[in-house]
Structure 1
Amino acid sequence: MGFLDISNVTKSYGSVQVLHQVDIAVEEGEFLVLVGPSGCGKSTLLNMIAGLESITSGEIRIKDRVMNGVHPSKRNIAMVFQSYALYPNMTVGQNMTFGLEMHGVPKPERDKALADVAKLLQIDHLLDRKPGQLSGGQRQRVAMGRALVRDPDVFLFDEPLSNLDAKLRVDMRTEIKKLHQKLKTTIVYVTHDQIEALTLSTRIAVMNKGFVQQLGTPKEIYDQPANLFVATFMGSPAMNIIPTKVVLEGDAPHAELSDAEGNRVLLALNQRNLTAWAGREILLGIRPEAITDPEGADRNSGSIRPLSNVVTVTEPAGADTFVTMSLSGKDVIARMRADAAVHPGQRFEFAVNMEKAVAFDPQTEARITP
């Protein structure tokens, strides 16, 4: 049993079910990120934890106390919204301590909590300003500070960085990470940004169409996606998905592909259980960083396979160069070093790390596990 337990929870609006039997146990001090596309149910689930949405069936517990039907003000949770939700007529200090004041916390305690949190977030010089005088990043710090002064059991973040520009988002992401490492607070964080999910979380729940598709650590989600949706949603650029047939060379399974000129290409598959798929179609998943030039290949891998193919497009991207080729009629992206000598139209010797390849069942779209 976790610090926050979501047990078999569903949510329906009339005859339409938008959340399907969600089961997640969050340990104390954990940073859980709910990630998925718009409309997948992640914000609905967050609002149910907060008490802003009712639960159709199932149970939510915090510290082994059932929260079903408990008013939001009685749950000892704090929420940070996308819109900041600051009172424009109050100063920063008043915004941050308003909740404490409403709960009858004595002024000396309020002042101490305010001073401690303002120093932690480096906004102590802003306490007498109004929200309208602050930048977006400063407003987000104030919204976080208002949550922190309450010392709640669980922090809930609803897409808190989506209104910020790209650089500020990266900066604030780092600040939130540092804050969690320092305070060891329990956080449930909603985002549609998979980079945010991978960098911030201790665990991720990937959601789609009201279902939790996979729950695991960032490494598990990235390296061992449970299905095709998780594989293509998590990662940028997305995982390459290539239709292929499993063939046996000797007794070893290989992926049979065709290069840009229609020549047959064989890549040895690491999963021995794929022998049972001989003669059948699979979907082969390979992340861009697992396809590179021989010099840039992972020297710790024992499964680097050569692949000769024609380069279609090169895209310099600062520290990386993204190289596109065609395999079995699909565009496949490789990630290479910035100084890789690759040019459109040339035949190039790629190196593919087959230790990182995963296979999916084309019918169920589930990963074929070893």
Structure 2
Amino acid sequence: MGFLDIKKATKSYGSVRVLHETDISVEEGEFLVLVGPSGCGKSTLLNMIAGLEEVTSGDIAIKGRSMNGVRPADRNIAMVFQSYALYPNMNVAQNMAFGLEMHGIPKPERDKAVAQVADLLQIQPLLDRKPGQLSGGQRQRVAMGRALVRDPDVFLFDEPLSNLDAKLRVDMRTEIKKLHQKLGTTIVYVTHDQIEALTLSTRIAVMFGGHVQQLGTPKEIYDNPANIFVAGFMGSPSMNLFPARVAVENGNAIARIDLADGAAASLPFPPGNAMAAHDGRDIVLGIRPEAITDEDGADRNSKAIHRIETRVEVTEPAGSDTFVVANLGGKEVTGRFRADVDVRPGNTFPFAVNMEKAVAFDPKTEQRIG
């Protein structure tokens, strides 16, 4: 049994089911991120944990106690919203202390809690200011502070960084991660940003269509996606997905692919790879951009680097890297090259492909097969 247990939880509005049977067990101190596109059910699940939405069937329990029918105020959870939800007529200290005041906490204890959290978040100079006098990042810190002073069992974050500009979002991401490492709090965090999910979480639940598509650590989700949706959604740039056909030569599996000029190429899977059982089968081959690179930039520890020469379609300089787009199997494929590689659109160039990092999917079921 986990600290937070979600057991076969569903949510329906009339005849429309927006969240299907969901099972997730969150351990104490874990940072779980619910990630997925708009409408996937992640915010609905978060609201069910908070008590803002009723569970249609199944159960949600915190510390072994079922939350079904328990009012939000009685769940000992704290929520940080996308909109900050600060009271404009109160200063920062009053906003942070308001929840404690509503729970009847004496003023000396409220003041002590606010001072401790303000020190932790480095917002002491802001305590006398009103929300209208704060930047977006400062408001978000205050919203986090209001949650922290309550010392809840579970923190719930609902896309808290989506209103911030790109640089501030990165800075706040780091602050939230440092805060979690320092306090060891249990956090459930909703976002549509897969970079946030990968950098913040101890585990990720990737959601789509009201289902949890995959639950695992960031490394498991990134390296071993369960299906084509997870492969294409997680990562920036996302995993390259293109058609291939499996062949077996001398007992070893090979992925045969078509190149843009009408030629074909063969990419051998590592020796002993289970794909040999799929001889003659059409597959969708998945390879991350960093596993398609220039020859000098390829992983020296890999024993499955294979060269393909094909025409470069587009180059995208990105500072520390250059993204290079080619066509494999009729699909655009992006490789991550070193910044100083002399590669130009229209030229034929050797691509080094690390087949140790390749995964394969069934094109019909879209589930991973190898």
Paired residue for 2:323? 322
Question: 1:309 corresponds to which residue?
Answer: 310
After superposing the two structures, state which structure 1 stretch, 276-285 or 153-162, moved more: 276-285
| 2:43 is equivalent to residue 50 of structure 1 | no
Shift of 1:251: 1.7
Partner Cα distance (2:299, 2:369) in 1: 24
Unpaired segments of 5 or more residues in structure 1? none
Match of 1:31 in 2: 31
Question: What is the match of residue 362 of structure 1?
Answer: 363
Using the TM superposition, give the Cα deviation of residue 262 of structure 1 relative to its aligned residue in structure 2, in angstroms. 1.1
- Matched residue of 1:61: which SS? strand
Unaligned runs of at least 5 residues, structure 2: none
- Render the CA deviation track for 1:1-53: whole Å, top value 9, x for unaligned: 10000001000000000101100000000000000000000000000000000
Q: Deviations over 1:233-259 (max 9, x none)?
A: 001111110101111222211111122
CA distance in 2: counterparts of 1:28 and 1:300, whole angstroms: 37
What's the CA shift for 1:272? Answer: 2.6
CA distance in 2, matches of 1:272, 1:159: 40
SS of residue paired to 2:143: helix
Q: Counterparts of 1:1-370 in structure 2 under 5 Å?
A: 1-270=1-270, 272-369=273-370
Secondary structure in 1 matching 2:161: coil
In structure 2, what is the Cα distance between the partners aligned to 1:70 and 1:327?
A: 55
How big is the alpha-carbon RMSD for the aligned residues of Structure 1 and Structure 2? Answer: 0.8
Q: Distance in 2 between matches of 1:310 and 1:174?
A: 40
Please state how far the C-alpha of 1:276 moved relative to its aligned partner.
2.0
Could you tell me how far apart the structure 1 residues matched to 2:258 and 2:366 are? 22
262-271 or 192-201, which moves further after superposition?
Answer: 262-271
Q: For residues 264 and 192 of structure 1, what CA distance do their matches in structure 2 show?
A: 38
Partner Cα separation in structure 2 for residue 28 and residue 251 of structure 1:
48
CA distance in 2, matches of 1:233, 1:331: 16
Secondary structure at the counterpart of residue 313 of structure 2: strand
Single out whichever of 360-369 and 79-88 deviates more from structure 2: 360-369
Q: Please give the secondary structure, in 2, of the residue aligned with 1:351.
A: strand
Q: Distance in 1 between matches of 2:259 and 2:363?
A: 21
Deviation at 1:191, TM superposition (A): 0.1
Q: Which whole-Å deviations, capped at 9, do the CAs of 1:127-158 have from their partners, x for residues lacking one?
A: 00000000000000000000000000000000
Deviations for 1:286-322, whole angstroms, at most 9, x for unmatched residues?
0111000111011111111111111111110111100
| TM-score normalised according to structure 2 size | 0.99
AA paired with 1:310? R
Output the amino acid matched with 2:55.
I
CA deviation profile, 1:74-95 (whole Å, cap 9, x unmatched): 0000000000000000000000
The letter for the 2-side match of 1:217 is T
CA–CA separation in structure 2 for the residues paired with 1:333 and 1:154: 40
Deviation of 1:175 (Å): 0.3
State which drifts further: 146-155 or 328-337: 328-337
Q: Percent identity?
A: 75
Amino acid aligned to 1:21: E
3-state DSSP class of the match of 1:25? strand
Match of 2:125, as an amino acid?
H
AA in 1 matched with 2:317? P
CA distance in structure 1 between the partners assigned to 2:196 and 2:342 by the alignment: 32
